[in-house]
Amino acid sequence: MLNGNRSSNGRKKSDVLQGTLDLMVLKTLESMGSLHGYGIARRIEQISDDTLSLNQGTIYPALLRLEQRGWIKSEWGTSEANRRAKFYSLSRIGRKQIEMETENWERIAATMARFLAPPIRNLGVLDESEKVGPDSHSSKPLCLSLPQANARCGS
């Protein structure tokens, strides 16, 4: 996964976040059709703009896991280099799984976007009546920019 090196474009290569590789493999097979493991790994690296580095110890266990789950199927064939290679393709179950996995990652991405976005609040200086903390004596609730919190804030 992470080689601790930099890609050809000078960017640091990243670890593959746990759980993301399965969806990347499924989406690669959906768009490219049947591919051997090396081809899948290179395509994922290409799509990531070389920010990911997949080695055999990363891609082949993932392919085996996906095949055991029935999400992909494999058959032996001949590669472009005229070598015997196992080619992987999506199964019917795998096509359905893409939908579920995509929805899950969209939910996760939206959640992370909320954490990474700058907070929406009044960035002015607090006067004494608005300060909160162990030394404050304010009875006002801490008002957040979340709809469920605004009910307590009188909004």
pLDDT number for residue 132: 53
Give the tens place of pLDDT for each residue, 102-154: 999 999 999 999 999 987 765 555 555 555 555 545 444 444 444 444 444 44
Task: Give me the helices (H) in the chain, please.
Answer: 20-32, 37-47, 56-69, 92-116, 147-153
Give the tens place of pLDDT for each residue, 60-96: 999 999 999 999 999 999 999 999 999 999 999 999 9
Domains along the chain? 20-116 (1.10.10.10), 121-155 (no CATH)
Q: How confident is the model at residue 36 (pLDDT cuts 50, 70, 90)?
A: very high
- Asked whether the beta carbons of 90 and 33 are under 8 A apart, the reply is no
DSSP H/E element including 77 = strand 72-78
pTM over 0.75: no
pLDDT number for residue 69: 96
